[in-house]
Amino acid sequence: MLLCGFIKKRSLLSIITFVCLLNNVEAQQATWIWYPGDYEIWLANKMENRRTERGSFYPVFWKIDSHYPLVDFHKDFNLVQPEEVFIYAEGSYNVKVDSKMLEGTPTSITVAAGRHRINVKVFNQQSVPVIYVKGKTINSDSSWFVTFEDKEWIDETGKTSDMSATKWLNAGSWNFNSISQLPSQFTLPVLPQAAISNTQINSGKLFDFGRETFGFIKFHGLKGRGQLDIVYGESKEEALSENHAETLDKLQINLDTQTDSTLALSKAFRYVYVVPGGNVTYDSVSMLYEYANVQEPGNFSCSDDLINKIYQVSKYTFHLNTREFFIDGIKRDRWIWSGDAYQSYLMNYYLFFDAPTVQRTLYALRGKDPVTSHINTIMDYSFYWFMGVYDYYLYTGDKAFINQLYPRMQSMMDFCLNRRNANGFVEGLAGDWIFIDWAKGLSKQGEVSFEQLLLARSLETMAICASLVNDDQGHQRYQKLADELKVNLFSVYWDQSKHALVHSRVKGERSSNVTRYANMFAISFDYFDDPQKQEVKTHVLLNDSIQKITTPYMRFYELEALCAMGEQKYVLKEMKDYWGGMLNLGATSFWEEYDPTKKGAEHYAMYGREFGKSLCHAWGASPIYLLGKYYLGVKPTSAGYATYSIAPNLGGLQWMQGTVPTPGGNINVYCSTKEMRITGAAGKGSLTFKSKSKPVCKQGTIVSKGNDLYELSIENGKQYVVSYKW
């Protein structure tokens, strides 16, 4: 702001120049760039089509899109002195300086001093058109603009038309910051790991890698001729069931000399049963563990060992399912499902805080226009996608990403709105899958209250994002639609005699059936007034006669709603029962579904298949989120943690401590029944707590809010010690 005084008398050109110079100074780091979303979609195609089932290629059943094969990149620069610039691309390319095409395919150019526009246009059908431009001040980064149609026509005199109608977006990028990191060659890193034991069983050997893992099996000293069967198992039973294991490889070996050989496709397993045929022999078997190279700034530990174990296994489960994208499960489906990913985003904010993986996943799910179907073909999953954008902005404050994504949000919402019925409600049309949850006998007919609720939240997301990109008309439209829908859905579904939202309305008849789904989301979205909340808590959430939830997927929202109502103590017990139950059965990662009434290998069956169940499923890792948000009690109260609240809740623990990552550093919380020690991150924090005694803090001023409630402002980087009584 101070600068304005200096520049206000200058011409507009000078101001622009000045701003550009500032930009250049900031942009010293070159990185590979692309059309936003294109690399993400291309990489997702590659990842999702690696799945096999019993040796068969097993792809998704929805539309997958492609990158634009031809992309133009440009940026304007103002150079104080001439500069040599190196240009690299994946694909055929040409280079223009000030709209004049340079001869040949330049790899290095000298740009004269002064104001210049540099364009690089790239064609690549096989992989994504990407460029890397490196000079002293001219470097490729997300401040460059891209388009898939430059509309740069010429007239009969050779004059180039202006490109005013071209839609430019800021370029996409990740962390490919050196020339040699070609985006098309990206693979996840690997680490060699050994089996902890092996046992001869019949004609084969069973290798145990000690816990659920993921990677490439490697044979050492492989030799001979014949078939080599490899059967993967998340359980011992699965590895030993050649006829029913979900994944297997049958290799034809023809090796004269002993050779080390790594399989081409990575798999999920704890056990591997290896059966050599013919005269095939090998010395040993190991694996290359394949993993996403994300940091783990988040953490949690406490006075309860079982909870600590649950947290650690959740972390491992979540890390395994965090790959190029957030996937559902590592054995199956190895796909990106919007409903599953939505929970992963939330867990991510409390463990990795890895924004690029969220961005990539949102892009991959959304794909490209035209929208021909709901995301993953599931109506709820379209809405989770919007909700994921909402949370992304809330946790990261990253407006640039919303700017890039907004056009695709609009067309996705158009698709949803165009499928409403005459009442303004959504119901399943031909081709729509209404999922909600895997639950026996759950009705998906007619106007389901749960879906209207999610649509309302999605519309609120649109309204917020419209404001962010200065689409005022859009903001008004989406806000009005959201408000009307909320009024409408409460008038239709709220049943005062049931003290709850009912499940659905079919052919104009309101159902008397109450399920947990809409009710728990309405709590999380804060759509109820206080009396309604209490009624729902008693008559739905804590009411055993309402159909129980059996998937960790919906347990996530159920336990979240209970926590939001202050039921941390109850939830802690539930966590110990449910997740502890899996640990008791020897789980080394958390499952897709858990039903305590089942026995032995029954636990592994699902979808009518003996080993159909995934034993390492992202949605099984929700304690990461619950413990961070509702026990440590840390959450943003405005975008990007500009303001945030800390409200620790021991829920019956003696003490707990942990770290919650934010865009502006980590928040550390230690809390016992007597003391809290808090370190703040960037932004304005507010610690809220109850105390039976008058609390004391030397580092700040505690404000009493009455009724034993206290508040303390938390500043960046400062440590606060609070004595109090739980």
Binding a second copy (rule: CB under 8 A), the pick from 200, 257, 607, 707 is: 607
Whether 364 and 40 have beta carbons less than 8 Å apart is answered as yes
Integer CA distances (angstroms), 510 to 166, 491, 501, in order: 50, 11, 11
Q: Contact region for a second copy (CB under 8 A) — 103-111, 130-138, 383-391, 461-469?
A: 103-111
Is there binding between residue 150 and a second copy (CB under 8 A)?
Answer: yes
Q: What is the nearest approach in angstroms of a second copy to the Cβ of residue 127?
A: 8
425-484: contacts with a second copy (CB under 8 A):
429-433, 438, 440
Binding a second copy (rule: CB under 8 A), the pick from 225, 548, 598, 609 is: 609
Whether 78 and 27 have beta carbons less than 8 Å apart is answered as no
Based on CB atoms, which residue is closest to a second copy, 87 or 492? 87
Q: What is the nearest approach in angstroms of a second copy to the Cβ of residue 227?
A: 12
Per-residue contact string for residues 394-413; x = within reach of a second copy by CB under 8 A? -----------------x--
Is there binding between residue 270 and a second copy (CB under 8 A)?
Answer: no
Is there binding between residue 370 and a second copy (CB under 8 A)?
Answer: yes
3-class secondary structure for 168-196?
A: CEECEECCCCCCCCCHHHCCCCEEEEECC
Residue 86, Cβ density class (10 Å: 0-12 exposed, 13-18 middle, ≥19 buried): middle
How big is the site for a second copy, counted in residues (CB under 8 A)? 68
Q: Contact region for a second copy (CB under 8 A) — 61-69, 79-87, 254-262, 710-718?
A: 61-69
Q: Contact region for a second copy (CB under 8 A) — 204-212, 338-346, 372-380, 700-708?
A: 372-380
User: Which of 270, 330, 234, 340 is CA-nearest to residue 610?
Assistant: 234
Strands 92-97 and 114-123: antiparallel
Question: What is the rounded distance in angstroms from the CA atom of residue 101 to the CA atom of residue 482?
Answer: 50
Integer CA distances (angstroms), 355 to 294, 359, 405, in order: 10, 6, 14
Q: What is the nearest approach in angstroms of a second copy to the Cβ of residue 564?
A: 28
Is there binding between residue 93 and a second copy (CB under 8 A)?
Answer: yes
375-394: contacts with a second copy (CB under 8 A):
377
Based on CB atoms, which residue is closest to a second copy, 332 or 533? 332
Binding a second copy (rule: CB under 8 A), the pick from 15, 16, 20, 53 is: 53
Binding a second copy (rule: CB under 8 A), the pick from 8, 9, 156, 293 is: 156
Binding a second copy (rule: CB under 8 A), the pick from 372, 423, 693, 704 is: 372
Question: What is the rounded distance in angstroms from the CA atom of residue 514 to the CA atom of residue 529?
Answer: 19
User: Which of 21, 11, 22 is CA-nearest to residue 78?
Assistant: 21
Strands 108-111 and 114-123: unpaired
Binding a second copy (rule: CB under 8 A), the pick from 18, 123, 168, 186 is: 123
Based on CB atoms, which residue is closest to a second copy, 506 or 606? 606
Whether 639 and 394 have beta carbons less than 8 Å apart is answered as yes
Is there binding between residue 107 and a second copy (CB under 8 A)?
Answer: no
Per-residue contact string for residues 495-534; x = within reach of a second copy by CB under 8 A? ----------------------------------------
Whether 381 and 375 have beta carbons less than 8 Å apart is answered as yes
Residue for token pair 């799910």: 365
17-46: contacts with a second copy (CB under 8 A):
42, 45-46
Question: What is the rounded distance in angstroms from the CA atom of residue 628 to the CA atom of residue 407?
Answer: 33
Largest CA distance in the chain: 89
Question: What is the rounded distance in angstroms from the CA atom of residue 330 to the CA atom of residue 618?
Answer: 9
Can you give the binding site for a second copy, defined by CB under 8 A? Answer: 42, 45-46, 49, 53-70, 92-94, 101-105, 121, 123, 125-126, 148-154, 156-159, 161, 164-166, 250, 369-370, 372-373, 377, 411, 429-433, 438, 440, 606-609, 612
